[in-house]
């Protein structure tokens, strides 16, 4: 490609040339590549320009923000081109270089606090020739390459889309995070559909307020090419989402709670049954009703199934065909993934790491659990501190036994994180004399509704235990639980590491669970 064609309308190119690649990483630059230097939060990319030039960069595009302009003045031996707000324009630049691949596929953007990964993975199983971009990686179901973020950087997104198109994918189910939207990582992507799963407290360490977090999510509705939007009517933000959907976009709603809507296209789940082998329910859409059976667990998975089913209907798939495919759906790694034999306790590994997600997982499993419900969880370090006591209160309310442990402490002291979680537990009200009273509005609104219906016994003061070593915590619970108990290992899901003081140490909840089950079997 010619450099002038790449940057037409974005910058003046004094010296045109042929280029064969784009790179954000000075270490991976090859001869004939353009090095793109962004103004990062910690340092400017131009600090590494010498390495990029030594590796063969033929030109440098940089953002003048920070000290970019001063650093650029020191470059003499290659063409240097300045573009303001380069980070937000990178997606358009990358899309041009890779031939605008998203225009040749149906890209379905999935956003929300919880359920993005499950919905993207489910869609990839249900739709023909469907690629995936998300938390678990990119590629196709059962064959994924690793990604660094839920939504990769703008250059990587276009590279991946180009590869998926080359692999003859017709549809792409793409997780779109609030970070990705605010930072412009999906700029340059043409979306066919947008799916909003739900919105609840998350990433306030980055966005600052819920209002800012919600506004970041709503940016997905402004993307070019959008034909339909799927909205969870049971979510408290659904009206706000629907209100800003462009008139040219068809709005589809779905509801598990029977919420009525004026939308012309609404899908409902009715007559729900929670069984040992999964869930089943009736799907009602216009004049059609279809019974759906899925080998999944939890009310939130009904929401996830409805979300992908509604997206399929919006894409023209008949209801009967969609229902037949759902019967063969497979659970997602680390998302309500079940372990153990029928004769032992039901064990689930789940990624729930927000108050709303933990509330939904535990309240849902109450309906599957025959005896005691156990939960092992912690909270990540250097993240939203305010959610910690909320998760402590939710865990203590729903579970019979709560084990608080380390998650990814990162650079925080694990004991401080545990103390924050315990502040929400009534059994620790005397711990250090801390005031554990919290406003009810800080918790998922569904928690109060469900709590009345369950008729659960009052919280016991001895039900919460702290075992900071995560491996020992999991081992102890699996060894101690009764055959008809239910265990939830929450917070890390698919992750293969535990981050402590900046080091990612090999660790897998799934592997620890499987080893603990072997030990349990040997001791029986």
Beta bridge partners of 423: none
**Are the CB atoms for 210 and 144 separated by under 8 Å?**
no
State the sign of the Cα–Cα–Cα–Cα dihedral 23, 28, 30, 35: positive
This prediction has a pTM of 0.77
Over its length of 524 residues, how does the chain's per-residue pLDDT go in tens digits? 999 999 999 999 999 999 999 999 999 999 999 999 999 888 999 999 999 999 999 999 999 998 999 999 999 889 999 999 999 999 999 999 999 999 999 999 999 988 899 999 999 999 999 999 999 999 999 899 998 888 999 999 999 999 999 999 999 999 999 999 999 999 999 999 999 999 887 777 777 898 999 999 999 999 999 999 999 999 999 999 999 999 999 999 999 999 988 898 999 999 999 887 889 999 999 999 999 999 998 888 999 999 999 999 999 999 999 999 999 999 888 888 999 887 889 999 999 999 988 998 999 888 888 899 999 999 999 999 999 999 999 999 999 999 999 999 999 999 999 999 999 998 643 232 223 333 333 445 444 433 333 344 444 557 999 999 999 999 999 999 999 999 999 999 999 999 999 999 999 999 999 999 999 998 87
DSSP character at residue 458: P
Burial grade of 219 (CB within 10 A; 0-12, 13-18, 19 or more): middle
The encoded tokens of residue 52 equal: 């990029």
DSSP character at residue 405: -
Q: Which domains does the chain carry?
A: 3-84 (3.40.1390.10), 95-326 (3.40.1190.10), 337-523 (3.90.190.20)
**Are the CB atoms for 155 and 25 separated by under 8 Å?**
no
Q: How long is the chain?
A: 524
DSSP character at residue 18: B
Whole-angstrom distance, CA of residue 350 vs CA of residue 377: 10
| Termini Cα distance of the chain | 67
Place of tokens 């859409």: 285
Query: Per-residue DSSP letters for 125-171?
Result: HHSTTEEEEETTEEEETTEEE--SSSS--HHHHHHHHHHHHHTT-SE
Whole-angstrom distance, CA of residue 356 vs CA of residue 100: 37
Whole-angstrom distance, CA of residue 21 vs CA of residue 5: 14
């Amino acid at each position: 490609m010619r450099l002038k064609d790449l940057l037409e309308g974005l910058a003046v190119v004094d010296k045109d040339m042929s280029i064969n690649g784009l790179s954000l990483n000075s270490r991976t630059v090859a001869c004939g590549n353009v090095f793109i230097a962004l103004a990062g939060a910690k340092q400017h990319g131009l600090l590494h320009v010498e390495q990029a030039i030594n590796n063969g960069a033929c030109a440098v595009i940089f953002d003048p923000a920070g000290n970019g302009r001063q650093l650029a003045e020191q470059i003499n031996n290659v063409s240097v081109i300045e573009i303001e707000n380069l980070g937000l324009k990178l997606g358009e630049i990358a899309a041009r270089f890779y031939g605008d691949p998203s225009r040749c596929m149906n890209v379905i953007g999935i956003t929300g606090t919880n359920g993005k990964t499950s919905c993207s993975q489910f869609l990839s199983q249900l739709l023909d020739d469907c690629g995936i971009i998300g938390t678990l990686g990119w590629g196709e179901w059962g064959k994924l390459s690793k990604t660094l973020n839920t939504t990769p950087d703008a250059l990587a997104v276009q590279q991946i889309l180009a590869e998926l198109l080359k692999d003859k994918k017709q549809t792409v189910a793409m997780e779109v995070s609030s970070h990705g939207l605010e930072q412009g990582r999906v700029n340059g992507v043409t979306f066919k559909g947008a799916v909003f799963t739900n919105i609840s407290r998350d990433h306030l360490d980055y966005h600052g307020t819920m209002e800012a977090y919600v506004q970041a999510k709503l940016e997905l509705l402004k993307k070019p090419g959008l034909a339909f939007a799927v909205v969870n009517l049971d979510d408290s933000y659904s009206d706000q989402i629907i209100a800003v959907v462009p008139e040219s976009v068809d709005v589809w709603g779905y509801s598990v709670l029977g919420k009525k809507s004026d939308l012309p296209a609404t899908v409902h789940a009715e007559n729900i049954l929670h069984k040992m082998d999964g869930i089943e329910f009736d799907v009602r859409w216009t004049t059609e009703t279809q019974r759906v059976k899925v080998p999944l667990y939890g009310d939130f998975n009904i929401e996830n199934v409805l979300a992908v089913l509604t997206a399929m209907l919006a894409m023209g798939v008949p209801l009967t065909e969609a229902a037949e495919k759902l019967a063969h759906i497979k659970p997602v790694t680390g998302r309500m993934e079940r372990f153990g034999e029928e004769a032992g306790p039901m064990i689930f590994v789940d990624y729930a790491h927000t108050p709303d997600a933990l509330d939904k997982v535990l309240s849902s499993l109450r309906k599957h659990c025959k005896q005691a419900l156990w939960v092992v969880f912690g909270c990540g370090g250097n993240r939203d501190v305010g959610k910690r006591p909320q998760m402590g209160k939710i865990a203590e309310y729903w579970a019979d036994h709560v084990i608080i442990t380390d998650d990814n402490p990162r650079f925080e002291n694990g004991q401080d994180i545990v103390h924050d979680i315990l502040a929400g537990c009534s059994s620790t009200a005397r711990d250090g004399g801390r005031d554990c009273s919290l406003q009810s509005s800080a918790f998922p609104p569904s928690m109060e509704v469900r709590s009345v219906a369950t008729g659960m016994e009052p919280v016991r003061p001895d039900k919460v235990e702290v075992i900071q070593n995560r491996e020992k915590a999991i081992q102890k619970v699996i060894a101690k639980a009764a055959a008809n108990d239910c265990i939830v290992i929450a917070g890390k899901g698919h992750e293969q590491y535990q981050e402590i003081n900046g080091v990612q140490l090999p660790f897998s909840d799934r592997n620890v669970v499987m080893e603990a089950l072997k030990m349990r079997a040997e001791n029986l």
